[in-house]
Structure 1
Amino acid sequence: MDTEALRSFVRAAEFGQLQHAAEELGVTQQAVSKRIAALERALDVRLFTRTPRGVELTLDGQAFLPHARGVVARVDRALAAIRPGSRALRIDVLGLRSAQAVVLHDYWRSHPETTLDVVTLRVDDPRAAVAAVQAGDVDASFRSATDPATLPRDVRMIHAFDSPLELLVGPRHPLASARTLTPAQLRGHRIWIPGIAPRSEWSDFYDQLATDFDLRIDAAGPHFGDEVLLDVLADSADVATVVGARDRYVWPTNHDLRRIPIGKPTLAYPLSLILPRANPHPGLRAVVDHCASLAPPPSPTWRPSWALTR
C-alpha cells in the first residue's frame, strides 16, 4: 500500500481540508486528491465526503484512520532511526484552534529552531490518546484521564496549565453588555455545548461545573463545527456558550460576538499532558517548562475535583 497515499489521507483527516494537507505535505491539492482517490479505489470504500467547508470522514474513514496513522507513524520512526536527532516532537492537541495549540505556537515562535509536529488525534476517549502515547504514535497528548489510577504504568500525567473560561454570546443576548460575569449570573441561561462525548474529560468537567454552580449546560444535538455554532450565537437572543480564554476563534465582523471573562471564582479548565515515563522525547522538557511559566488564572479559582496541581 502506498504510504504517501496513507500520509495524505491522515493529513487530510487532521486538517479537514485538502488544501491544508497539501501545504503541509509540500505538494499540490490535486496530488493529494489523486492519492486519496487511488487509496479509496484500492480499499473499495469512500473515506471522505466532500462538503463546502472541506472534507469529512465517512464511517469507514473513521474506522481506517487510527490504523493508517499507526502505519505512517511507524514509517516515520523507521526513517528517523537512520537520521539520528532528526525526529520532530509530535504532540496531540484537542484542536488546532484550542488553547493547547495556541500555547504550542507561542512556544515555537520563541524557539523556531524546534522541529514540532502538532496533530489532532480526533478521539474523545482519553484511553485512545494514552494508547497513542504508549505506541509511540505521539510523544505527548494534551488530554486528561479524570481517574489517574486507570493510567497504565508506562505513562504518566502532569499538569500543564489552566484555561480560564469566558462566556461567548451574540449582541442580542441579555448578558452581552456585561464586562465581567460571575458564575451566579449564568444561572438560568442556556449554555449550549453541543456534542459533548460520553466518557470524555470535558463531559466530566461540565457535569461537575453544572452541579457545583447550578448551571444549565445543554449538550443537545451533534456538533456541526465551530462555524455553525458561531452563526447560531450571532442570531440568538438566549443561547450562549463557553470558550477558553486562550482558544482562538474567528468570526465575521457582522456577528458582533462578545467574549466575557468569568470570575469570583474564575472557572478554570485544567489541561494535562500525558507522556511516557521512560525515554520521553528530549524536546518535551522545554515545552513542559514553557507551560509552567504561564500566568495562573485570577484567584479565587474553581477547578474540578480531579484537576492536577503542580
Structure 2
Amino acid sequence: MDTEAVRSFVRAAEFGQLQHAADELGVTQQAVSKRIAALERALDVRLFTRTPRGVELTLDGQAFLPHARGIVAGVDRAVAAIRPGSRALRIDVLGLRSAQAVVLHDYWRSHPEIDLDVVTLRVTDPREAVAAVQAGDVDASFRSVTDPATLPRDVRMVHAFDSPLELLVGPRHPLAAARTLTPARLRGHRIWVPGIAPGSEWADFYDQLTTTFDLRIDAAGPNFGNEVLIDILAASADVATLVGARDRYLWPPGHDLRRIPIAGPTLAYPLSLILRRANPHPALRAVIDHCAGLAPSPAATWRPSWALSPGRGDRPVDAPP
C-alpha cells in the first residue's frame, strides 16, 4: 500500500477539500486526486463522494479513516526513530511536579535553545514505558525496570539521579518539630502513600523499604491527588507521607506543613532513564550529563536492590540493626 496515498486520503478527509490537502502536502491537486484514485482501486472501494463543496467520506471511507490515521502515525514514528534530531526531544516523566520534571526544568532554563517536550505517559507498568521508547513515542522515560535483565536488547537503562526522601507532616504530628529524622524514628508511625499500583517500580521500592526498616507504609484507599493528601496531612495528628526532596508541593500558608529530611542513612529513590541503544536523540546526551552533575547522595544512602550504580563511589547501605 502506498503510504503517501494513505496520507493524502487522511488530509483530504480532514479538510474536505483536495486543494487544501494538496497545499499542506506540497503537491498539486491532480497528484492528490491520482493518489486517492489509486488507493480506491487497490482497496476496491469508493472512499469519497465528490460534492460542489469538495469531498465527503463514503461509509467505506469512514470505516477506513481511523486505520489510515494509524498507518500515517506509524510511518511518522518510524521516520522519527531514525531521524531523532529532526524533532523535539521528548522525555516522559511521572508527573509535572515530580523531581524528574523539576530537574528537566532546571536543565531547560540553562539551555533554552533546546527544543524539549516533557510528557506524562500515565502508565504504571514499566514495560509499557519500555514499549513507548521502542516505538519512538518518546526518546526516553524516567522509569526503572526492577529486573534489568528483562530489558529488550535494543533498550538500555542508565542511572539519572537519586531522589532523597523527606517526611511530610502537619503541625500536630508528633515528629513535626524534628529538624532531621532517622529511619528508626519513623517506626510505628503511619506513613500514608495512597495509590501504590501493584507491579509498579514504586510498589517494589516501598516493599523493600518496609521490610528493611520495619516501617508502617499504608497504601489503603484511592489516590485523589496531592491537594486532598495535603489537606488530610494538615488536619491530622498521626498521618505522614514520604515525598522526594526535589518534588514540588504547594499548600496554603495556614496548613503549616513541614518537610523533614531523613538521614542515617538517607533513603533514596533511584531514578533511571530508559532509552534506545541505537539512534538516540542527539540532545539526550546533554540531559544525561546534566543529571550526572547533580549533587551526589551522602555516602550512607539506602537504595533498593535494583538500583543502578550512580558511578560516584557511593554504594547502598544496609539498614542498621
Task: State TM-score, norm by structure 1.
Answer: 0.75
Instruction: In structure 1, list runs of 5 or more residues that go unmatched.
Output: 5-42, 44-66
For 2:279, the aligned partner's letter is: N
1:264–1:299 Cα contact (<8 Å) kept: no
Provide, for residues 209-257 of structure 1, a one-character-per-residue CA deviation record: whole Å limited to 9, x for no partner.
Answer: 0000000000001101011101100010000000000000111111110
- Give 1:78 shift: 8.0
1:155 matched to which residue of 2?
Answer: 155
Change (3 A) 1:283 1:72: farther
Provide, for residues 251-301 of structure 1, a one-character-per-residue CA deviation record: whole Å limited to 9, x for no partner.
Answer: 111111000000000001000000001110001000000000001122311
Change (3 A) 1:151 1:78: closer
2:80–2:136 Cα contact (<8 Å) kept: no
Written as runs of structure 1 = structure 2, the 5 A alignment for 1:90-109 is 90-109=90-109
1:181–1:262 Cα contact (<8 Å) kept: yes
Bigger radius of gyration, 1 or 2?
2
Aligned-residue CA RMSD (Å): 2.5
Change (3 A) 1:78 1:149: closer
Provide, for residues 130-185 of structure 1, a one-character-per-residue CA deviation record: whole Å limited to 9, x for no partner.
Answer: 00000000000000000001111110001000000000000000000000000000
Instruction: In structure 2, list runs of 5 or more residues that go unmatched.
Output: 1-9, 15-61, 312-321
Written as runs of structure 1 = structure 2, the 5 A alignment for 1:134-145 is 134-145=134-145
Change (3 A) 1:71 1:165: farther
* Residue aligned with 1:210, SS: helix
2-side partners of 1:88 and 1:243: how far apart? Answer: 30
1:93–1:121 Cα contact (<8 Å) kept: yes
2-side partners of 1:199 and 1:232: how far apart? Answer: 27
* Residue aligned with 2:124, SS: coil
2-side partners of 1:157 and 1:192: how far apart? Answer: 30
2-side partners of 1:167 and 1:228: how far apart? Answer: 17
2-side partners of 1:74 and 1:201: how far apart? Answer: 29
1:304 matched to which residue of 2?
Answer: 304
Moved over 3 A (4+): 1-4, 69-81, 83-86
2-side partners of 1:246 and 1:76: how far apart? Answer: 35
Written as runs of structure 1 = structure 2, the 5 A alignment for 1:232-243 is 232-243=232-243
Written as runs of structure 1 = structure 2, the 5 A alignment for 1:50-199 is 74=74, 77=77, 85-199=85-199
Change (3 A) 1:84 1:117: closer
Change (3 A) 1:179 1:70: farther
2-side partners of 1:72 and 1:104: how far apart? Answer: 30
2:170–2:233 Cα contact (<8 Å) kept: yes
2-side partners of 1:134 and 1:274: how far apart? Answer: 10
For 2:304, the aligned partner's letter is: P
1:70–1:137 Cα contact (<8 Å) kept: no
For 1:119, the aligned partner's letter is: V
* Residue aligned with 1:228, SS: helix
- Give 1:76 shift: 6.1
1-side partners of 2:225 and 2:147: how far apart? Answer: 29
1:73–1:137 Cα contact (<8 Å) kept: no
Provide, for residues 180-216 of structure 1, a one-character-per-residue CA deviation record: whole Å limited to 9, x for no partner.
Answer: 0000000000000001000100000000000000000
Task: State TM-score, norm by structure 2.
Answer: 0.72
The percent identity for this pair of structures is 84
Change (3 A) 1:85 1:296: closer
